Amino acid sequence: MKENNTPTPHIGAKCGEIAETVIMAGDPLRVKFMAEKYLENPVCFNEVRGMLGYTGTYKGKPVSMMGHGMGMPSIGLYTYELFHFYGVKTIIRVGSAGAYTRDLKVGDLVIAEGACTDSNYGDQYELGGVFAPIGDFGLLRAAADSCDRMGYRYKVGNVLSSDVFYRENPRTERWISMGVLAVEMEVAALYFNAARSGNRALGILTISDHLLTGEVTTSEERQKTFTQMMDVALSVI
């Protein structure tokens, strides 16, 4: 942790104002909702660029919650600063995803065991091969156990972290043929950053729309009703 580098260009907190465990969501309003719903005595530590962040306690444990924006460049930037400048050890992303299998319904959870990607984010590491970004197994196992205990519908497996939302030539069927469960836009970069920094990360996703059936949800539903993934994330910290 580089204490003399805080606040960073993108996070207004000082060293010590962010907990070692951070739960992140793309939408800063979802973060505000989570902080108000779950945290005891939440204190806002960041408003830079509207990317809200809060620190409080949950059942006596210090926890921070923060937005990460949309896409791998955005989550990559914020998680890099959290891991390298604020001493964060664990980041759990809670977000939405589009289903690639009829075994999933809108509202179901996906725990991302691994994250395929069509992004060049990993090229910076110059590995000379294809790196498979994966989640922390301890967190993954605990999250699956929590889903079983709480009675939440879920699947564990591979997701696709895509750089493109409106793709000119979709190749959905190719990812489906490889057993990919759902598509989103951030988990791979989170897993890359966690691996490189020697820290823990996990993506817990709620199916917000279905690429095969055409089912969709509203932005308000995504912001305020996707609480099962939040319950699971907080249960494993």
123 is catalytic: no
Token digits of residue 1: 């942790």
Strand partners, 206: 96, 109
Q: Phi and psi dihedrals of 42, rounded to 5? A: -70, 140
Backbone dihedral region of 208: left (phi > 0), alpha (psi from -120 to 50 degrees) or beta? alpha
| Residues facing 65 on adjacent strands | 23, 54
Query: How many other CB atoms are found less than 10 A from the CB of residue 231?
Result: 16
Q: Is 79 exposed, middle or buried (0-12, 13-18, 19+ CB in 10 A)?
A: buried
Distance CA 184, CA 53 (A): 22
Residues 6+ apart with CB under 8 A from 59: none
Tokens for 231? 């319950």
Bridge-based pairing of strands 109-117 and 200-210 is antiparallel
Residue of 123, 145, 163, 209 marked catalytic: 209
CA 53, distance to chain mean position in Å, is 14
Rounded-to-integer distance, Cα 127 and Cα 60, Å: 41
How many residues does the structure list for the chain?
237
| Residue 80 structure tokens | 């890099």
Catalytic positions: 209
